[in-house]
Amino acid sequence: MNNEYVKIKILPYNREVIVEKDKNLLQTLISAGVNIYASCGGRGTCGKCKIKILFGEYTTEEPSQFISDEEKKQNIVLACKTFPKSDLSIELLNQLDVIEEIQKHSFLQYEFFKENLKEEIEKNFGVSPLIKLCQLDLPKPSIEDNTADVDRIINHISQKEKINVVFDNLKLASNLPDMLRKNAWNVDCLISEKFCVNEENPVYNITYISPKIDKVYAIAVDIGATTVVVALVDILNLKILGVYSTLNQQIVYGSDVITRIIHSEQNNGLKELNQKVVYTINELIDIATKNAEVQLKDVYTAVVSGNTTMTHFFLNLPAKYIRREPYIPVVNKILPIDVSQVGLMMNPQGKVYCLPLVASYVGGDIVSGVVACGTCPASCGIDESDDLCVLLDLGTNGEIVVGNKDFLVSAACSCGPAFEGIGITSGMVATVGAIEDIEIKYTEVKYKVIGDTKPVGICGSGLIDIPAELYKAGIIDRAGKFIKDNKVFKNRIRENDNGELEFVIVEKNFTANNQDIVITESDIENILRSKGAIFHGLYTLIRYLGMNLSDIKKIYVSGGFGSFIDIKKAQVLGLFPDVEQGKFVISGNTSLLGAILFLLSSDARKRIYKVQQKMTYVDLSSLPMYMNEYTSSLFIPHTDLSLFPNITKELRR
């Protein structure tokens, strides 16, 4: 073998690849299709891409804070800092696999909407799917009626459905004459709505014609920076057949959008990010259709919701100017796209719709979320409310909308991926084995685990709980630092290999992976930065509008883990404002629900487009009051306790 190349054997996949010596092992694994976790994008600053060298020669530059002495003895290294000198055999320690199960964390009231989808949409919006099935019994042509075949179909549908119809698919037209005559002018036709904003009578496009169509399915997609969720929808029966989620495989290039945008600017980087997200969606489509026994050829429509950067990567559009002042995206409104242009696994004649974007950091997920709040109890949606309402979308990016039927103002906070469990020592996404609820009572640490199994780590809702509970129990101070002389929990407070204090939540004897589940001071600092960005972003936006927090009548909380947040603990932490708990409405994944509404209701589509036109975006970083006072929110609950009078009163009891 040429001296410039080596063979790498990858366990547990038992896969072998031949690579150049000057390529680090993280690059090797990614190019081999192995989705190893590297939240910093391979810069060596997260310490997550650990692998074990079983045999072979290599060189490595290990940041001492990530690799302990015990790990060094076991030949554990960071893949991004390690280069092969000879053939190697390596073992993965943190590979990412697809979650092949319905996640009830995917969006609010999954079971309820699964059984009552039609009734809920009829009640709140009215049913009018993007794609319609028309069963045609066409009049036969004659000498007196010599209308062209395509025009005959257009005229018939227009008169029967009272809509405007166009035809622009030459491939369909080439097969049409024989099909019509062989089937005695009785055929089935699918029409899909074209892009419209304020038209009372939207234009429909003929997308598919067949002698018989009796099954029509569609998918709704939420592309999050951390998690991708897909819902499979039966259009003819208005049923959700399944909701599936997994980690966005782009995470191998970094956990946050800025890191990924930087990667996209490298040679072939944009294509790599595009391929990862399309591959992630296709894996979920494959799982969803197989479990529902649906054929891919019967899936004709996809609606994609996501933030501006994720939407650009999905469309293979450059995102580099999103992170450069004045922060301009390529496009905000996207016409329906032929599926062949994006590569989704569905009928090749199908159409893909992307929800409209507002600005560089406020995308279709937030626009549709404003409308999707209308499916919550006693709510008409923020865009139709008389009262002042707030939407807080908590995820890798924190987005905020303040407004009502008269105005909508939005902003985004760079709160990082801590709420998704990323960048936290024992953090993980919300799946089986994740601690989602924590309570410290007397001398005990009680917790609830998703799936009622042994824990593996802590997901977002648990990460909000733990610092609040530690503070209430007198284990940390308002700055998030451990109080060393705490006598009750002194056996749980210890110094780790890096010389940092940490609190043991669950000892390894009681975990599924035989590793202690801990929270460190740097973890708490990370969480406080994230919560501070959200609270201070909302507080700044409210003051910018000349209002007070007490003026808010409803606060809708959305996001991947929004359904499981303990409101009181979030207030103790200082994430949520100190207002009546009755004002909070836990809304779940409004991005996915918004995509489903866009798919199934013309009224919802019109409202979503109107919200996009109406919404004003404010760049918080341009406001001195935000930049100058941000650090005041990095305490529990805040440096200014007058903002949290009720919480302060309770904690002093």
**Residue 610 token pair:** 């109107």
3-state secondary structure 15-67: EEEEEECCCCHHHHHHHCCCCECCCCCCCCCCCCCEEEEEECCEEECCCCCCC
- DSSP track, 216-251: -EEEEEEE-SSEEEEEEEETTTTEEEEEEEEE-GGG
pLDDT of residue 109: 47
Q: What would the pLDDT profile of 383-401 be if each residue is shown by its tens digit?
A: 999 999 999 998 778 899 9
**Residue 183 token pair:** 């089937």
Q: Quick check: 255 pLDDT over 90?
A: no
pLDDT of residue 100: 38
pLDDT of residue 292: 93
How many whole angstroms separate alpha carbon 560 and alpha carbon 248?
A: 13
| Confidence label for 306 from pLDDT (cuts 50, 70 and 90) | very high
* Cβ proximity of 456 and 513 under 8 Å: yes
pLDDT of residue 653: 58
pLDDT of residue 20: 82
Tokens 């994008």 locate to 41
| Confidence label for 119 from pLDDT (cuts 50, 70 and 90) | confident
How many whole angstroms separate alpha carbon 1 and alpha carbon 12?
A: 25
pLDDT of residue 98: 42
Q: Quick check: 613 pLDDT over 80?
A: yes
Which 8-state DSSP code applies to residue 510?
G
Domains by residue range for the chain, with CATH:
5-92 (3.10.20.30), 128-210 (3.10.20.880)
Q: Quick check: 266 pLDDT over 80?
A: yes
pLDDT of residue 104: 41
pLDDT of residue 378: 57
Q: What would the pLDDT profile of 307-366 be if each residue is shown by its tens digit?
A: 999 999 999 999 999 999 999 999 999 999 999 999 999 999 999 999 999 999 999 999
Element (H, E) at 133: strand 131-137
Highest average pLDDT, of 218-222, 396-400, 585-589, comes from 218-222
pLDDT of residue 336: 92
Q: Quick check: 537 pLDDT over 70?
A: yes
Mean pLDDT value across residues 519-529: 95
Mean pLDDT value across residues 144-162: 93
Closest by alpha carbon to 475, among 438, 497, 503, 500? Answer: 503
| Confidence label for 103 from pLDDT (cuts 50, 70 and 90) | very low
Neighbours of 498 (CB within 10 A): 13
pLDDT of residue 560: 64
How many whole angstroms separate alpha carbon 387 and alpha carbon 390?
A: 10
What contacts 596, CB < 8 A, 6 or more positions away?
113, 117, 220, 231, 233, 240, 303
How many whole angstroms separate alpha carbon 82 and alpha carbon 60?
A: 4
* Cβ proximity of 236 and 216 under 8 Å: yes
SS3 content of the chain, % helix, strand, coil (to 5): 35, 25, 40
Q: Quick check: 63 pLDDT over 70?
A: no
pLDDT of residue 126: 86
Dihedral (C-alpha) 518, 650, 557, 310: value to the nearest 10 degrees? -40
How many whole angstroms separate alpha carbon 145 and alpha carbon 126?
A: 38
Q: How many Cα atoms within 13 Å fall on the side-chain side of residue 201?
A: 6
- The overall average pLDDT reported for the chain is 88
| Confidence label for 256 from pLDDT (cuts 50, 70 and 90) | confident
What contacts 251, CB < 8 A, 6 or more positions away?
35, 37, 38, 39, 96, 226, 422
How many whole angstroms separate alpha carbon 342 and alpha carbon 314?
A: 7
**Residue 344 token pair:** 């989704």
How many whole angstroms separate alpha carbon 651 and alpha carbon 653?
A: 6
